[in-house]
Chain A
Amino acid sequence: MRTFIRQLRPALVALAVFTVLLGVVYPMLTTLIGQVAFGDKADGSLVRRDGQVVGSELIGQSFTSPQYFHSRPSAAGTGYDGAASSGSNLGPLSPDFLAAVDERVAEYRAVNGLSDDVLVPVDAVTASSSGLDPHISVANARLQAARVARVRGLEVDVVLALVGEHTDGRTFGLLGEPGVNVLMLNLALDDLSAAG
């Protein structure tokens, strides 16, 4: 026990030294580097329209109006709550989960005017891990394109071309999976409609 007590002083001092180094100097130095070298990214890749912050390129948003592409279901707060990231964490056989999927399949078909034999892309009816997934699959976007084009009075091809432009590919063509950035796509659609 005396051995242990003798070690308490260096223990406390070591913790103090490391707290200054690792808890103050290190994060502050990193923040400095980040703010100087990657300012916008370090601040959250914010997207502005007419000078107003409308979101982040990396964080998904809820869309329900027919003229927009719709994001995936979200379990973050009431949906895409940036201050409460979360998955549903429901088990694969959870009755709540399976009921929600059935409901989402029916709604997805109704909203997009799809017949009952069209299979629904899995990302369109499942909640993401963060609840803030900025992407939907290309398959999901293509099934929504006709509806968006119709409501906006655009050619489907024009909308599909925009989908292509806002598809983030794999890094180096290898890492990760491609996805359509819903917020950036919808902003581009608004720009197009405003210009037209």
Chain B
Amino acid sequence: MPQAERGSLAPFAALGSAFTGFIGELGALTIFFLDSLRLVFAGWGQFPKVVRQIYFIGVQSISVIALIGGFAGMVMGMQLYFALAIFGADGFLGAGVGLSMVRELAPVLTAIMLTGRAGSAMTAEIGVMRISEQIDALNIMDINPVRYLVAPKMAASIISFPILTAFFNLIAISGGWLTGVKLLGANEGVYWSRVQDSLNWSDIEGGFIKSLVFACLVCTICCFEGYFTHTRKGHVGPEGVSQSTTTAVVKSCVIILASDYVLTSLLW
């Protein structure tokens, strides 16, 4: 092929290469996710590891979730009160806070916070194990590294994310009550009755489904980036692990928000 023609086709070649690369990574991620999900049920030996991971992902995240949930609810209560008061509709404060938290903010903010706190740690832990040959050692001992390392994290994420989302809801709605009712003077009885009346089972179910999907996405992306940290081009060793950790957090946050849009469209 002549030089000039090659030059004019170069952007298409780059686009094609990026696209096939993307499809390849998507396929690898799907296989990785299905494999880890299947291996969650690989015998009772997994149970203690799952409990340890629930402690790390779930229990140790309670304080940060409480803090974020509290402030998110307080801000939401304040902003909605001011906006609704203009129209004399401050009685709907409870409905606004309840619906926005249960449907959107609680699953999304919980998932983003857990990506930062637990997801990055998953990537770093698995990445360090990769570069220090610990994953090779597991392979050679005929211990499936995905079963040993990833599956317990997957199980713990699936259990912890919805529980922490529910906890976030509780704290955030209470935060909205604190600012809206206690500080700004909205009616307490109306606030709680609006929260109760406006929330249907489908809202709670939708938020629950979202948190389950986010758990799978965050855990898969974070573990995948750590597991294949050695295949990164140009970044090896500790630098590769730090790059993988950054990539995992960024990808997870973007995918949480993108999939939130898709899920919202499908669920309601």
A and B held together in a complex: no
